[in-house]
Structure formats: C-alpha cells, structure tokens
Amino acid sequence: MTDLLKAPESEPEQSVSAQADDELGIQPGRFVGLLGVIGAMAVLGGWELLLIVAILVACIVIHEAGHYLTARWSGMKATEFFIGFGPRIFAWQRGETTYGLKALPLGAYVRIIGMNNLDDVDPADEPRAYRNAAWHKRFLTVAAGPATHFVIAILLAGVAIWQFGEEVEGQWAVGDVIPLSAAEAAGIESGDQLLRIDGRSVEDFDNLAGVVPDVQGELVAIDLVRDGEVLTIDARIGERLTAEGSTGYSGLYEGDVLVGIDGVEVENYAAFAARAEQHIGETVEVDVVYGRRLQTELVTINTVNTSEGAVNGFLGISEGTVRERLPLTEAASQAVPTVWDGTKQLGSRFGQLFSSVDGWRGLFALPPTEGATVVDSGPVLTDQQRPQAELDENRLLSIVGAVGLGQQLVGEGVATVLIFFVGLNISLGMINLVPLLPFDGGHMAVATYERARSFGGRVHRVDAARLLPLTYAVLAFMMLVGGIAIVRDLVDPIQL
C-alpha cells in the first residue's frame, strides 16, 4: 500500500526557502540514529532482514520515481522527492525539486503541487499544478506508480525464467523438505528427483501415496537423481499418528510424529508402542515432531493402539518442479504471461478474502467455519492443550508478515526470492489500483470522472472536501485491517 507511505498530498506546499537552513545538507546526529536503526535490524534479523527491507524500499522508490518522471514529462511541478519519512537526515536542492533521505526508511514519496482544489499553490505555478493538467497527463502520472510494480514483476520473472528455467511438464522434483522429517534425516534435498522407493517407481508424485504407507517405519533404499547423478540412499520412512491412533493418549494428536518416550529415542511407532505399554496409566514425557518443531509433551497413556490404522506413512517432502533454462529471448517472452497468470490468481485470492465469511474470520484470527478450506500452519500451544492448528488459506499478510516471509525465503535460494518479489510487486500494483482514495486508483477514478463530466467547453472539477469523509473511512478501514494483520503476524508469524 505505497500510497499510505506518501506524505499527504493535500497539505499546503512548503517552498525550500521556508525551510530552516539546517534542513538542507546532512544532519550528523540523525544520520547516526539511522545507522543505529539499521544496526539494530541487522542484530535482530540478520543480513536477510536488511536485504528484504532494502529491496522492498527500492521497489517503493521506483514506484515514486514513476510518478515523478511522468509528472515532469507532463509539465507538472514536483517540489519534493524523499526516501523515508520523519525528520530529514540530508537534503539537497536541484532545480525546483528538493531531494533527500528521512529518518524512517519505510518507503518514499513525491510531492506534486495542486493535487486537488484544497492545495494552496502560488498563482505563478498554477498552470503547472496537477489539477490543471489534461486528463491523459493526470491519469498517466498517477498510473505510472502502480505500473512500475508490474514492470518490476515482469523483469524479475524474466530473470528467474532465464536463470533458473521454466517448468518441465510431466516431471517433478522435491520442493520443500520438512524439518525433522524422515526425508531430512535421510539427506534428501530440495531439487532431488525421486525415482524409486524400495524398488517401486515414484516418478509420478501421486505414486508416493501408494508406496509410502506400504513401507512406513521401515529402512528402505531410495533411488534419486541429484545434479544429473543417480544416487541411492537409505531412509527410514516416518510415521505419524492417525485420529484412530491418537485416541489412547491424552496429550497426543492426529499428525504427531513420535520420536522419543521417557528420554529414549524410538525409530518407529512399533518401538514407541512397545515402550508405551510399560507405562499404561502413567504420565510420561514424549518427544513429538509437530508443525516442523520438536517439542516434549506430558502424555498420559491410557491404552496403546497397535493396529495398522494407528499411524500412516510420512516422508516429509512437498512436490516441486523440474525446470529447464531458456535463452534470454524465450525467457522474456514467457515473463508477461507468467505475471498475468499471477495477477489473476492473486485477484482471485483477494476476492475470496473480502467476499467470504471464512475470509473475514481468517483475517481476524477466528477459527474457520465447519467445512472451510484450511491448511496446516503448525501447532498453537497453550498451557492446557495443543489443539490442531488450522489457518484459513486466505490469510492476509501485513508488510511485517511479508518481510518476515521474505527473510525466511532467502535461505531457499535466489530463484525463490525472485519469485517472492514477483508476487509482492503484483500485490502492490493491484492494491494501488483500487479505485478509492487515497490509492492511486482513486486518483485515476477522480480524473476519469472529471473528464467524463467536462464537455461543451465546461471543465468540471471534483470538490476534494466532499470526498474527505470517504477517504477517511477508507484510511480507517486500512488502518484497522493493517493493524490486525500486523498484530497477527507478530503474535503468530508464518513459519516455513
């Protein structure tokens, strides 16, 4: 929502001469403060956090540069172009524009004079005010900001396809390897292509569902291709409790992977059950892998279910794609349809979020209604219980959540980070096109409405004061939704 990161464009313009002399040039104290903020981010979040924030700010600066350059091309007067908000760290004047950096590096803004009839403009500059420009110039100036996000997405998608290839139909590779799973223990890596498990073909990912349950808990040979080389590794296929298997234990749940009991490691459920039978009626410590984390639970063993239905097989991988690198020209031709497909998918997700009851429930961190589509997000722990954690798949990420997700994705490689920023820029572009003020789409809608009402030599201009109640309502809604999303991302961050 980059428009929220801009300075209010309805404020009266301040000329450079009205600024205190010390506002131009560098402010050493503030600069040291900024370095302190950057240092704190590096300590708390590492270089990955700095990288994601820097790229995000760069995307927003490019957005504002789109407004600025188009305004200059249209003959409008832009008096300020700043990165960040708050007190100035340094500034310089070049021509009629003051450029600089401010203390809070949370985005950027451009100030164009006369955005509406409430802006005070020097009469000498009135011909160069935004409100007096032709419709197509106003429309293009405002649209240039969101357009830059789609251009960035296309460029990043093209680089990703060029450097890392496009998906090969009919083949699959390992996507994610779940931490603490049987796959991780065996040394299976993201990008591996599995061929056979215990001699049975798994060249189709769907075959896993038929093979893994037959060898659950057993030590088997897995044939795979890694970097063009065929390898054979030994792996003990994991097991996790079913709903049936969990009924005899107070404190264990469907989906738990049991790796230890009473301080003793167990390699499969049979070994766990053998030891559990020695503690019937007792409460013991059980080591459990759940939601990608290892934790120790106090479990009361009432009965021990040793039937085949007590557990099911669990290898711990997701389906990924096999990619083939393309020449630059072919990659460039694939970038636009790739971004278009991503735009349609994200548009559908936004529609589900704001048009369904379960979308709103997920946004406000409420349990989904019965029958809703949910995905596993890991455990939600309390002192009394550890229920199955289910999260509406339409969950809305705040900017805090997006940065945190990007920070985690850095470890997945350059291709993953590129794809993440393709999606993020598509999202930013779409959000800014919402046809309500203060979004860029709102300014585009106002300009188009004014053009439609101007005919017969009469120029129609909207009174901005009449739009303020709606603008404030939109801002309040955005602050409410954004605030809830930020709190949720801080309290319950998404963990890959």
Average pLDDT over residues 288-308: 85
Distant-in-sequence, close-in-space partners of 179: CB < 8 Å, separation ≥ 6: 292, 293
The yes/no answer on whether domain 167-324 falls in CATH 3.30.750.200 is no
Average pLDDT over residues 150-163: 90
Q: Is 306 helix (H, G, I), strand (E, B) or coil?
A: coil
DSSP letter at 388 equals P
Average pLDDT over residues 192-208: 86
Contact 2, 107 (CB under 8 A): yes
pLDDT computed for residue 448 by the predictor: 93
Percent of the chain scoring above 90 in pLDDT: 28
Residue-wise pLDDT tens digits, 25-66: 888 888 888 888 788 877 877 888 888 888 898 999 999 999
Distant-in-sequence, close-in-space partners of 268: CB < 8 Å, separation ≥ 6: 216, 217, 218, 236, 239
Which residue type sits at 92? W
pLDDT computed for residue 359 by the predictor: 59
Q: What is the pTM of this model?
A: 0.68
Which residue type sits at 407? Q
DSSP letter at 308 equals G
Handedness of CA 395, 399, 404, 406 (dihedral sign): positive
Residue-wise pLDDT tens digits, 84-122: 888 889 899 999 999 999 887 778 899 999 998 888 999
pLDDT computed for residue 27 by the predictor: 82
Q: How confident is the model at residue 361 (pLDDT cuts 50, 70, 90)?
A: low
pLDDT surpasses 80 at 154: yes
More confident residue, 445 or 494: 445
Percent of the chain scoring above 70 in pLDDT: 85
Q: Compute φ and ψ for 28, nearest 5 degrees.
A: -55, -45
Q: How confident is the model at residue 366 (pLDDT cuts 50, 70, 90)?
A: low
Q: Where are the domains of the chain?
A: 2-162+402-491, 167-324
Residue-wise pLDDT tens digits, 313-330: 888 888 877 777 778 888
Residue-wise pLDDT tens digits, 413-458: 787 888 889 989 999 999 999 999 999 999 999 999 998 888 877 8
pLDDT computed for residue 48 by the predictor: 83
Place of tokens 């085949």: 308
Number of CB atoms found within 10 A of residue 195's CB: 16
Per-residue burial over 436-450, b if 16 or more Cβ lie within 10 Å, else e, is bbbbbbbbbbbbeeb
Q: % helix / strand / coil in the chain, to the nearest 5?
A: 50, 25, 25
